[in-house]
Amino acid sequence: MGAFSRLRSYRLSPWGRTWLSRGVALVGFGLLAKILLETGIVGAGGAGGTDANDYWVAAHHVATGEPLYTAAYGSYLAYSYPPVFAQLLSPLSALPPAAFVWLWRAVELVALRVTVGSWTRTGVALLVFPPTILEIETGNVHLVMAAVCALAMRGSSFAIVPAGLLKFASAPLAPIGFLRDRRGFLTGALVAGVVLLASVALAPRAWSDYLAFLDSNVLPNVPAVALTIIPLPVRLVIAALLGLAAVRFTRLAPVAVLLAYPVVWATSLSTLVAVVAPIPAGARAAQLPWRAALQWRPGARRPDELVPAP
């Protein structure tokens, strides 16, 4: 009984906790590397990177003047994002498709790092939260959205409206973004507006095709891999209410974004990693400069810097 009591009261030293967490992180990175190398890339002898490959194809269509919306929603190589996303990526279509997919996977990994606050936490997240690996493997934008959530939760709101050029699901972040960092939010909205106007001016036909695409396609009904039990209009109302509640209960913000996705796939769940994003003290009361929010990580000497979830 004495041995059991001693075991229960045992606490790792700070050095031990540091190296244990780093060891767990290395396992997470190793698992990610194993899965990415095993799945490979679609079109290059593998089956992975399907979403990122779609982005490359869309960017290539913009560069060559081909139409964007010829494939039905959910089919192979279908592109369902606004034209501006493909336009912004079009310079990268000069890369080989495989190189683009690996680059986009790296972008998603960095977005996960921004979300959780350190590379150690990134590795741990990869190990304990499988949707993060699934997301990096397919190469969507859900971890980018998670990073936008984390930045907004830290009081840096510049990216909220520009993220809407990728997925409109960033809209529920508007209340928390406007109230915590009004200048950053409005600056981001101005930048996004200029980019949007330029996109429409450069490719009005692409935008008309996009609107026709939205009107003629229905969301897939595949309950096994996507949240289709709750209709999209109902989810949007819930997302808006959660976005308002996130002003007080910060960690509801990623849930609001998740529910606002047109289709919630298994990979979409990776956005929820932002629920545990570390938040510096005072982020609720005042904005954190965007560079500081982007680079901020939990301080080893200041555990009180973390704001507990309400």
The more confident residue out of 218 and 233 is: 233
- CA–CA distance, 118 with 142 (Å, rounded to integer): 19
The whole-number pLDDT of residue 303 equals 35
AA identity, residue 62 = V
The whole-number pLDDT of residue 213 equals 87
The whole-number pLDDT of residue 227 equals 65
Confidence of residue 235 (pLDDT cuts 50, 70, 90): very high
- Calculate the average pLDDT of the chain: 86
Confidence of residue 74 (pLDDT cuts 50, 70, 90): low
Query: Each residue of 267-289: pLDDT tens digit?
Result: 999 999 999 999 876 555 445 55
Cβ proximity of 130 and 140 under 8 Å: no
Average pLDDT over residues 67-84: 83
Query: Each residue of 141-176: pLDDT tens digit?
Result: 999 999 999 999 999 999 999 999 988 999 999 999
Confidence of residue 47 (pLDDT cuts 50, 70, 90): confident
Query: Each residue of 81-139: pLDDT tens digit?
Result: 999 999 999 999 999 999 999 999 999 999 999 999 999 999 999 999 999 999 999 99
Top mean-pLDDT range of 7-11, 41-45, 128-132: 128-132
The more confident residue out of 10 and 86 is: 86
Query: Each residue of 20-30: pLDDT tens digit?
Result: 888 999 999 99
Confidence of residue 19 (pLDDT cuts 50, 70, 90): confident
